[in-house]
Structure 1
Amino acid sequence: MSHNTFGKNLRFTSFGESHGSTIGCVLDGFPPGMAITTDEIKAELIRRATGQSRHTSQRKEKDDVQIVSGVFEGVTTGHPIALIIENTDARSKDYSNIAKQIRPGHADYSYWKKYGVRDYRGGGRSSARETTMRVAAGALARKWLKQNHNITITAWLSQLGDIRLQAGDLSKIDQSPFFTGEIDRVPELDLYMDKLRKSGDSVGAKISAKACQVPAGLGEPVYGKLDAELALAMMSINATKGVEIGAGFDAVAQNGSEHRDEIINGEFASNYAGGILAGISTGQDITLSVAFKPTSSLRIPAQSIDTDGHAIEVVTKGRHDPCVGIRATPIVEAMMALVIMDHIMRHKAQIQSNHLNK
């Protein structure tokens, strides 16, 4: 069975490849009655898009989304919502020289071993281009969460290589090409990325996120835990190598007396649990961080093999991100929205009530 569908009551399915004619998705189970426009979806897609600054791939797609079904006269109908986007700036010729090469650090080797065939044009299905449709679907989920539960989701760059960043003023993250609230540090980040790009190398990044006003009671023990499914959603994003909920790995160095989030006068004194206990939301902000690996498409030569098993030297040309994690911010937000909305719908189906405790 192929696994291109995510979610239980709200089911998201994506299709398409980096250099195929079209990419798309189907969002099934979305409630009726919500107004939505292509402009609202496009606004989120622009945030994820390449070519927005010199620090990302210069592939420039229009990302003009078409609503094929599930919306009538500007309102969701309750039927499957199908969205498609045409690929208009794919340059497959950039990859013709690597048709038989196995690029180290890419999906080339594992896809080849699994399927016996691979789409070498931009990574095919493993390309970050696939995440475009996650952001498109996430635009609908984020609007529904805000309208119905006043839930807001914000992600930001919290580390670029060895540069650690504070959240800063999160209302300003879209004013920066780095999605950072520390606007005064943008020149430092620009300089860092310029030096990195000139060297031909790449670097990883950490994206942190929080969901505010999430009601208590979301999550299904034992195999449908909210934190487990958030982790699954984040790990499904291309280039993810680690996910932390709340304090994450820092909890290893904490004492239990510090980590246990005491309740004083009916309020939590801290939130090291990240708003989730035993897989169920507590009503606090849900917090997480996602680690993205350095991009493997480099001008720096690397040793590998070709599909005939011969030793080769690989130099990757074309348009690539020196740090793919920078553009992951809206993708993290979208996946977080889809998971939380799905769990709200599951909760209502099981408890048979709209009652959710704050």
Structure 2
Amino acid sequence: MNTPKLRAAIVGSTGYGGVELIRLLASHPYVDVTSVISSSSAGSPIAEGFPHLTEIRADKLDDVDPALVSEKADVVFLATPHGVSMKLAPQYLEAGLKVIDLSGDFRLKNIEEYRQWYKHEPASQADVDRAVYGMCEIFGDEVEGQSFISNPGCFVTSAVLALYPAVKAGWIDPDSIIIDAKTGVSGAGRGLNLSSHFSEINENFKAYKINKHQHTPEIEQSLARAAGRPVAVTFTTHLVPMTRGIMSTIYASQQERRSAADFVELYRQFYEGRKFVRIRPNGQWPATKEVWGSNYCDIGFNVDERTGRVTVISVIDNLVKGAAGQAIQNLNLVMGWDETLGLQFTPVYP
């Protein structure tokens, strides 16, 4: 006898994150996408805007009405802009749905930090406290059986997976961390703006939000859990002329001199059994193309014998491991399933 599939709704299904959720969930053995939701395009076929999505079961875009969605779905993914999820998530939870939020509205446990960094009024402290932060490879045990998950940010996923084991082990000085991160243009979303205009980004490479990026306190929040004390990092983001991918090049001072091979072994032990973090052999470093279209985070190391600093290279696909893929991984953990279900894609290369 076949077990009924979990019914999934996607709010914000006309953005890049929402469309990626539709693509990935089409291969999930236990999930059906039964509602795709857009407040701006309700009633229209989703294939009008995305002709590649012609065979999904939920072909017409629904409205955001929680009562309607609760009739069609068991879990709802919120792939919405910041400031929107905080209004919708409590309504969907009240309607009996599980909620996985891909926005930043519930990630920061200190709501004053949200006000400062996101330039929005925060969600209520009670709602923020209710959300479980879903960094799967590190805090996955806290996700199991929960009904409200806050999905980590894309830059945060790349940086924290690259740093957490070394900070936890006391191998690096948390106050010395410098994160130099680059992202593809899809991270800016599908909306039109000057920064992602072809003429502005093509053959160009630029830094943005220097010392002001909203993912900074989220990185520090996770690393503080590893260090057992507050942590402050230097975090600079750059926009590069490619569609997908994040590379974080991270520098930190060691507490005691160790080799790159030592870091490889530490990280392999820490992430043992976690399929989606791949540690490169000593002397090899990853590139964004090597995780393109997949849920992998690849990490490599180099130790500068002259300065004693360690360099950590971390790459992810910002739309998969940095967003939709990790959200599905969180759903798998919530449901007690194998966390790899629906996500076992080999990266697209070249």
* TM-score, structure 2 as length reference: 0.25
* TM-score, structure 1 as length reference: 0.25
Larger RCO: 1 or 2 (CA < 8 Å, sep 6+): 1
